[in-house]
Amino acid sequence: MIGEVYSSIIVYLEAIGLFSNFLLIWLILRYTMNEMRVYNRILLQTCVVDIIGIFLFAVVQPGNTISSFLTMYANILTFLIYAIIIFCGVRIQLYVRRKYNGPNLETMRKVNRQITIVLCTQALLPLLTSFSQILVNIGPHFNITVSSKLSMMLGTPMTALITVLNPLVTLLTVKNYRRLIFKCNKADIQSNVNNNQTRHTAFSNRNNVIVPQ
């Protein structure tokens, strides 16, 4: 009975993850404001990775054995990845703050801030998979006993939960997507997107005007 409930929870999380990621892909392709289109590939690749991860997770889930070498290798890669994410995030913020000038400066800063929040949050979410193991390691120091079986049972749903939380973070952080989901005002969102594109095009045209001699 417990095994069936456990498997059902994982299946439901995977189904919600697929729906959320496909919904986000549709929103990215249809309702991304012009200033944010440069980040489309980053947002789309996260969705694609999540979808691939869901299918791979369903395939490899029955396997429970892993060598100590692979564990150490994964930990090293994890630290390197987080170091790269932090470094790139800081550099992007500084670059936009110093180099970008124009009438859409404040809009670009807001867009960059939203994307930074999304990427940093998505980078931290995989730490959920280590939460159960952390409890097992530090529990004895606080007179807390955590069963290793319990940590294994928590680890798998946490892994499936990441594919649900990744698109939710983007949907709740990016203003256009959030307004579309909660207000369901398609016309208003499309109007805002068109207005942003018009202003951006007008600004580009002014910069490209050739003054006759």
The predicted-structure confidence for 68-124, as pLDDT tens digits, reads as follows: 666 667 667 767 777 777 777 677 767 766 766 666 667 777 887 888 888 888 877
Check residue 75 and give its pLDDT: 64
| pLDDT over threshold 70, residue 203 | no
User: How much is the CA Rg of the chain, to the nearest whole Å?
Assistant: 22
Question: Which residues have C-beta within 8 Å of that of residue 78, sequence separation ≥ 6?
Answer: 126
| pLDDT over threshold 80, residue 57 | no
| pLDDT over threshold 60, residue 197 | no
Check residue 205 and give its pLDDT: 47
Per-residue tokens: 211 = 């003054």
Residue with tokens 């892909």: 25
State in Å, rounded, how far the first CA of the chain is from the last one: 84
| pLDDT over threshold 50, residue 59 | yes
Task: Please report how the helices 105-124 and 40-60 are oriented relative to each other, as an axis angle in degrees rounded to 10.
Answer: 10
Judge whether 177 and 31 are in contact, CB under 8 Å. yes
74-78's contacts with Cβ under 8 Å and 24+ in sequence apart are 78/126
Check residue 3 and give its pLDDT: 64
How many CA atoms are closer than 13 Å to the CA of 187, on its beta-carbon side? 0
Judge whether 17 and 54 are in contact, CB under 8 Å. yes
Q: Give the alpha-carbon dihedral of 6, 12, 18, 20, to 10 degrees.
A: -120
Check residue 213 and give its pLDDT: 38
- One-letter identity of residue 191: S
| pLDDT over threshold 50, residue 212 | no
Name the average pLDDT for the chain. Answer: 72
Check residue 19 and give its pLDDT: 92
Nearest to 35 by CA among 97, 93, 123, 103: 103
The sign of the CA dihedral 53, 56, 62, 63 is negative
Task: Tell me the C-alpha to C-alpha distance, in Å, between residue 160 and each of 7, 152, 171.
Answer: 11, 13, 18
pLDDT digits (tens, 9 = 90+) for 145-179: 666 666 666 666 777 788 888 888 888 888 888 88
153 or 212, greater pLDDT: 153
User: Angle 174-37-46 (CA atoms, 0-180°, nearest 5)?
Assistant: 65
Three-state SS at 7: helix
Check residue 66 and give its pLDDT: 57
Per-residue tokens: 186 = 């398609």
Give the lowest-confidence range in 33-37, 118-122, 184-188: 184-188
d(CA 92, CA 111) in angstroms, rounded, equals 12
